[in-house]
Structure 1
């Protein structure tokens, strides 16, 4: 479905033009903000956070890498003689979305089990920060994936990619 169905054509053209320029930068800012939330929670909580609570953020980062390993033109162009590239690309994207949902589920489970339902804990900030971390990282993954135009085979994202 085209963006022109939802917004004016001038706005759609502006967004498509600027998404290539500003999308990767905003995506990196979201990724950094997600990890900043988690580092802040680890530093400010004053307790030793077990490694199990780090896993949702690590899995979300893995999902970011998995989502952005696929070129968008592999998902949009179907060729009957492509030897399964169309299917493999869509299957890999499905698996990366499943990993993403598992990361969010893990952060919700950590929040509920270790912070919300446990009355002996003084603060729930590490659990909330873990949930913020995974959602920001996965938002970063989707923004970075969408900011690439179909047919970006050279890997460049802006006019300054040679630096």
Structure 2
């Protein structure tokens, strides 16, 4: 077996482990927090998971990379929106990290750090699954 065959077999499992690790960071931060975490802090992880789901709704084989034909512009638009949601969720988690680090009465800096790690791991898992999945 070469690497490509092994990646098709084990890639989805790696993606699941990375996804679970990302959510584990967040659950750990919420459980260990001494203050109540507002719902706004949950949104970047939820939207990152939505973006990962959006990545995986598109098969690689369906995308036409030809610059001269229209191809499937709907798929390209869908992937573009998934990337926008992914990067906005990552930016929001970084913003919440900065806010948590500056406020003394709010959640700890670990909560913000866990939110950033959650978004990064969830988005990596979506891309890992997308690259390893083939129909």
User: TM-score, with normalisation over the residues of structure 1?
Assistant: 0.76
Which has the larger share of helix?
A: 2
Coordinate RMSD, CA, aligned: 1.9
Relative contact order (alpha carbons < 8 A, sep ≥ 6): 1 or 2 greater?
2
Structure 1 stretches of 5 or more lacking a match? 1-12, 153-163
On the 8 A contact 2:33/2:107 being kept in 1, the answer is no
- Three-state SS of the structure 1 residue aligned to 2:2 is helix
Deviation at 1:77?
A: 6.4
- Check if 1:34 corresponds to 2:19: no
Q: State the alpha-carbon separation in 1 of the partners of residues 114 and 122 from structure 2.
A: 12
**Structure with greater Cα Rg:** 1
On the 8 A contact 2:11/2:128 being kept in 1, the answer is yes
Q: State the alpha-carbon separation in 2 of the partners of residues 122 and 53 from structure 1.
A: 10
Q: Hey, what does 1:156 align to over in structure 2?
A: none
- Check if 1:17 corresponds to 2:17: no
The C-alpha deviation readout for 1:22-55, integer Å capped at 9, x for no partner, is 1000000011111110000000112100000000
Q: Hey, what does 1:8 align to over in structure 2?
A: none
**Inter-CA distance 43–142: structure 2 relative to 1 (3 Å threshold):** same
Deviation at 1:76?
A: 3.9
Q: Hey, what does 1:57 align to over in structure 2?
A: 45
On the 8 A contact 1:74/1:85 being kept in 2, the answer is no
User: TM-score, with normalisation over the residues of structure 2?
Assistant: 0.91
On the 8 A contact 1:66/1:96 being kept in 2, the answer is yes
